[in-house]
Amino acid sequence: MLKDLYPDLCLPPEPILTRWGTWLEAAQYYYENYNKIKNVLSHLEDEAVAINTAKSLFEKPNLRNDLAFISDNCVFLAQAITQLESQNVRLTENVSNVKKVIEMVEGIPGSKGDLIRSKLVEVLSKNKGWETICQISDIISGTEVTSEHRVPFTTNEITSFSKAPVTSVDVATIF
C-alpha cells in the first residue's frame, strides 16, 4: 500500500532492538513522513493485530509531538553512535565525540531533557573506566594532566590506547 500511494517514499527503517541509533532513525523517518504513514494505515484493513496496533498508536494525541521532540533533540545521538562504532578511530577523537554528546544533551530542554541527562549521568557514573579513558586521551593529545590524576599504566601501555575503541559494539555484533 505504501508503494502504491507513495512510490517515491522508501520503506520505513527496521529498528534493531539492541541498537539505539536505529530506533532514533526510525523515529525521525516517522516524524518526517507522519501524514503519509497515517494515510497508508487508513487504507489498510483491520485484519492483523499489527495493523490495529499501528492505527491505535497513530491516534495517540502526543505521538507527533513526541516524534518532533526526538527528531529535533535526539537524532544527533544516532550519528554519534555510528561514529563511535567506526573502526580505526583514534581514542582522542572518540572521547571528543562523547564529550560533544554530553554538551549537546545538556542543551536538551524540558522534563524529557532532564530524563535524558539523568540517564547519561547514570550510564557514565556506572562506567568506572570512563574517567581513566578521558585521562589517557588527555595524555595522548598533550593536554596538561595533574599528578593527582595519574593513570595506572606504563607509557607503552598508554600509547597502545591510541586506537582503542570506546564501545564494545564489535563484540556485541559477533554475539
Quick: pLDDT tens for 31-55.
Answer: 999 999 999 999 998 778 999 999 9
- Give the pLDDT band (50/70/90) at residue 24: very high
pLDDT more than 70, % of the chain: 92
Sign of CA dihedral 46, 50, 52, 55: negative
Tell me, yes or no, whether 56 and 107 share the same domain: no
- Residue 31 neighbours by CB distance under 10 Å: 20
Average pLDDT, the chain: 88
Quick one: 95 and 71 in the same domain? no
> Alpha helices, DSSP H only, in 1-90?
2-5, 20-32, 34-43, 49-58, 63-73, 75-85
Q: What is the pLDDT of residue 42?
A: 93
Per-residue model confidence (pLDDT) at position 169:
54
pLDDT of residue 174: 45
36 and 9 in a common domain: yes
Q: What's the domain range around 4? A: 1-85
Last residue of a domain, one of 85, 103, 131: 85
Amino acid 76 reads F
Task: Provide the pLDDT for residue 168.
Answer: 62
CA R_g for the chain: 21
- Structurally, how many domains does the chain consist of? 2
For the ranges 4-8, 20-24, 146-150, which has the lowest average pLDDT? 146-150
Read off the pTM.
0.78
Q: Which residues are CB-contacts of 105 (< 8 A; sequence separation ≥ 6)?
A: 113, 116, 117, 120
- Neighbour count for residue 33 (Cβ, 10 Å): 17
Final residue of a domain: which of 85, 100, 127? 85
Assess whether 107 and 137 both reside in one domain: yes
**8 Å CB contact between 10 and 25:** no
Residue 55 and residue 115 in one domain: no
Shared domain for 7 and 72, answered yes or no, is: yes
